[in-house]
Amino acid sequence: MNPSTTRVLALAALLASAACAPPAPVPSAAAYKPRTRDLTVTMVPLLVKEQQSLFPFLKDAFAEGGVLYGKEVYAFSPSTFTVVEGDTIDFHLINPEDDEHSFVLPDLAVPMPGGTTKHVTYVARHAGIFPIVCSVPSHLPMMSGQLVVLPAATMAGT
Ligand SMILES: [Cu+2]
């Protein structure tokens, strides 16, 4: 093999290896920057004793042996919140009626007497799905919700 042929083969081998080489690393997307999110939550009655004249079926439901005996149905509106790990949540809580409620998350318990509004700050430190409940026994298990905290790594570049 003459020197010129050797050089051509070496060059071809070099080009072939370059073509099969893994692509250059793409710079990773910018890390997620935690945000502050304003969330307003209103505590609302859905099926409560005051409605028995409006919905006659409630008399049986609330009576002893009825499907809602010892209970009333209230809700957080909205009841599911989605944020990202590291976000700060400014909860604006509103209880417009005369019944007492509470807003309970891991590491947070806010009593909500009737006719009150409260502003509380909560940092979503860990990814996961966390229950939100009202701790008044007659409101459980219906008055509940979820805080969904997405992993920050999945939100890079957003
Ligand atoms: Cu409640």
Ion ligand 1: residues, CB within 5 A, are 74, 101, 134, 136, 139, 143
Please list the pLDDT of the chain residue by residue as tens digits (158 residues). 555 555 545 545 544 555 555 665 555 567 899 999 999 999 999 999 999 999 999 999 999 999 999 999 999 999 999 999 999 999 999 999 999 999 999 999 999 999 999 999 999 999 999 999 999 999 999 999 999 999 999 887 77
Going from N- to C-terminal start, the domains of the chain cover 36-155
Residue 15: partners with Cβ closer than 8 Å, 6 or more residues away: none
Rounded to whole angstroms, how far apart are CA atoms 130 and 94? 21
Spelled out in words, what is the top-level CATH class assigned to the domain 36-155?
mainly beta
pLDDT at 5: 53
Assessment of whether the complete model's pTM goes beyond 0.75: yes
Ligand 1 centroid to residue 33 C-alpha, Å: 34
Ligand 1 centroid to residue 139 C-alpha, Å: 5
Ligand 1 centroid to residue 101 C-alpha, Å: 4
Ligand 1 centroid to residue 128 C-alpha, Å: 24
Strands of 128-133's sheet in order across: 80-84, 144-150, 128-133, 101-105, 108-112
pLDDT at 48: 97
Which tokens hold the place of 25?
A: 């690393």
Which tokens hold the place of 83?
A: 């944020």
pLDDT at 154: 87
